[in-house]
Structure 1
Amino acid sequence: MFLAAVLFLCSFFFPWLGNVPVIFFGVIIVLLFIDIWILYRQPKGIFARRNTPERLSNGDDNEIGIYIESFYNFKVEIGIIDEIPHQFQKRDVWFKTNLEPRQHKLLNYILKPTKRGEYEFGAVRVYVRSAISLIQRRYNFEQPQALPVYPSFLQMRKYELMAISNHLNEIGIKKIRRLGHSMEFEQIKNYVPGDDFRTVNWKATARHSSLMVNNYTEEKSQQVYCVIDKSRVMKMPFEGLSLLDYAINASLVLSSVALIKQDKAGLITISDKKGATIAADRRPTQLNKIMEVLYKEKTRYMETNMELLYTTVRNTIKQRSLLLFFTNFESLSALERQLPFLKRIAKFHLLIVVFFENTELKKLSNADASDVEGIYIKTVAEKLIYEKKMIVKELNRHGIKSILTTPQNLTVNTINRYLQIKARQQI
């Protein structure tokens, strides 16, 4: 069109151009009508559909697919806009592709949510061009969808499969040497070199005329509770996820592994008010029950009521259990406020306090200081890191076990400690 305007302008100064501008403009108009006719003669030339899972996994890569099919008898150029949920703050989910006559394709892309809740998708909009490419025809496929974002069930499945096949060490889980053996009998088997002579079953040996030994297995039906702090200290973000979300994901994975190991998994959430409480059980529905509760949990911007936690634990858990308390301490003074209640809980249960390293402080402490301000910042960072280590020593001094971990290693370190305690029969 711009070239046609230039030709019309030039025809005033160059009469020899004659009707060339008119002919050129006429050709454009003819091509435009041809383009409109071939794109719009079919009422439904394109079909598109968004393929999504039933739910999204928080903090994980979730695959979304767009199925596109052409009913045109000629090759078309396709542009696709998918209206993804506003939580992602992305307006550039745009795909370009070409479709041959009667061809269909599946286009995949990845979404990584960082918050739990409802995520609403909008329409799928498709723009079609022919080979002439003077106009685009838009197709709107209204496909409103509300998908729930649950705690990381993809991570849970990965660890679950590893636990079933006893390959947890492949993803960082340590193999723990068992000290002694439990008294939970499993079977009688033939003796092989390396078996403990103390487990020889003399009656079975006499019957079979070969050396037989008793085989014992890990004790089962022990109670494992994940206690999650929902107060303001768990709101700190790390790589898009809050510490609360890391704790929730780790609790879900640990509960899954505990159920596979024939233990009972339970849950308690706490802040300034009493949160959800799920009694420990190992029924097949227990994991779904825990997931449904964790899906709705949110951070409260108040201090943790430790006295309420103590009374909740005493009223809910009647037998000695393993309690993993997911919280965070930034200073010794913060620990001292909660220590009396932690000591009282540790009298009745095996308590493990799980809190987090501040990776940003570690970066500051490792950075080179070039001026007085840099030296000051580096000194303060090292002091705060040292306080974290002192918190671990203070807890150990009072007989309370602890895990100081980075958020990304939380799940692995928590499962390691659980398997270590189970192997050593400390519950």
Structure 2
Amino acid sequence: MKKIFQQYYANLFLTDRLFVALACCVLLFVLKFFFNWLGEIPEIASGVTFVLLFLDIFILYRNENGIEAKRITAKRLSNGDENPIEILLKNRYGFGVKLRVIDEVPFQFQLRDKDFKLALKPYELKSIHYNLRPTKRGEYDFGFIRAYTGSPLGFVNKRYNFDGAQILPVYPSFINLGQYELMAISRNLTEFGIKKIRKIGQSSEFDQIKNYVGGDDIRTINWKATARKGGLMVNTYTDERSQNVYCIVDKSRVMRMPFEGLSLLDYAINASVALSKVAMLKQDKAGLITLSETIGSIIPADRKASQLGHIIRVLYKEKTRYLESNMEALYSSIRNVVKQRSLLVFFTNFESLSALQRQMPYLKRISKYHLLVVVFFENTELKSLSTEPAKDVEGIYHKTIAEKFIYEKKLMALELKKYGILSILTPQQKLTVNVINQYLALKAQQKI
């Protein structure tokens, strides 16, 4: 009995309207000392207030399931993206109610603003929509849904606690993969920031013989088939398929730097997933290598249906380390695992030219056997600092240093180009688009 009473008492909350009514009753009793003509009015007002209070409690508690609430989410969240969250609410009371709904989101978001106010008509169904943007991979623990319900009398609120406890994993970005699929197959790639690349010559992989239509290259006319059919026939060719595309993700300390909540490692992981998806759509094989002071995970290139899911599950667990990457171990692993010439997209970062020069011998040896693309990052905060006008001598000093680092990044790209190594120097926000753009350009130019 005591437990039941405590349960009801714990979920009962007095409102400001009740305190205002009680304050008015007290005021009437005070005024009665000075104005006798008030008579029994204070007692009547107090009695009406308490009757309304108990009536309010009765009509709220007579229906144990007066409010229903349910949180609807995906089975997993996408890192760095806006993930939609929906709360369904239903009023089972025979009268309209006012609701205050609090959703206990995971502590990682550090949010206290998921507090919604709305009104529901009798037996009405409504939904609340909002978005969450996680910035770290891992498990996110959602808590209760708290719904504070008030009747039209408004003297008390009853709290409903819905056990919406959920633990959702946050995986590398997958929400926008559909957009990148369009990038892989669409001819109008400029809408996505992708340049159209004119093909040099034609692919060596024969596709079919078809009837000539206006605009076909006359150099592809098949004269033997034309003679047999009595009409112009042309050969068609497709991009070469089944080529290996490996994403190499550096997990060393240089990838710990955060931008807009995401670390460089997370940006690289999201881009790797997107590139693997596009490569498989282009009928190439996608693989993965991670490294820090030792080699981490190695997934041999393949294009089977489960390959992308395997890559995502492996990248889900990857974390940055505190030591430098072991390029010698990377070179040995590539020589042992990657047996044929492949496209290697190496996601890393260099903050100084000397750091690049330390790794250059290994990069040159890798590029001797494979088509290597080194992807490293612009420091967008330094770039914004360099564009701001200096207000004093200290500001001039800071701006000069920022411009020096920006210039050094450009020297790194030139240093790589000098040895025939392709590079992408990109801001974090455009990483995925720029990497896919480079891959499609290399496919169009038949360099892989």
Shorter-chain TM band:
over 0.9
How do 1:15-94 and structure 2 match up within 5 A? 15-94=36-115
Structure-2 residue corresponding to 1:318: 339
Report SS of the residue matched to 1:188.
strand
Q: Encode CA deviations 1:229-258: one digit per residue, 9 max, x unaligned.
A: 011111111111111111111110010000
Following superposition of structure 1 onto structure 2, how do residues 13-412 of structure 1 map, counting pairs within 5 Å? 13-412=34-433
Q: d(CA) in 2 for partners of 1:24 and 1:380? A: 75
Q: After TM superposition, give the deviation of residue 273 of structure 1 in Å.
A: 1.6
Letter in 2 for 1:321: S
> Alpha carbons of 1:353 and 1:385: their partners in 2 closer, same or farther (altered >3 Å)?
same
**Is the 1:230–1:244 Cα contact (8 Å) retained in structure 2?**
yes
Q: CA deviation at 1:143?
A: 2.0
Normalising by structure 1, we get a TM-score of: 0.98
What is the Cα deviation at residue 312 of structure 1? 1.2
The structural deviation recorded for 1:198 is 3.0
How many Å separate the matches in 2 of 1:165 and 1:197? 25
* Cα deviation digits, residues 118-173 of structure 1 (max 9, x gap): 01111111111011100001111112111011111012122124434445432212
Distance 1:20 1:167 in 2: 80
1:159/1:168 contact within 8 Å kept: no
- Show the counterpart of 1:422: 443
3-state SS in 2 of match to 1:126: strand
Which structure 1 residue ranges, 5 or more long, are not aligned? none
Equivalent pairs, count: 427
Rounded Cα–Cα distance in structure 1 between residues aligned with 2:361 and 2:23: 81
Match of 1:31, SS?
Answer: helix
Letter matched to residue 291 of structure 1: I
Identify if the C-alpha distance between structure 1 residues 421 and 162 changes in structure 2 by more than 3 Å, giving closer, same or farther. Answer: closer
Question: What root-mean-square deviation, in Å, do the aligned CA atoms of Structure 1 and Structure 2 show?
Answer: 1.2
| Residue 16 of structure 2: aligned partner | none
User: Taking every aligned residue pair, what percent have the same amino acid on both sides?
Assistant: 63
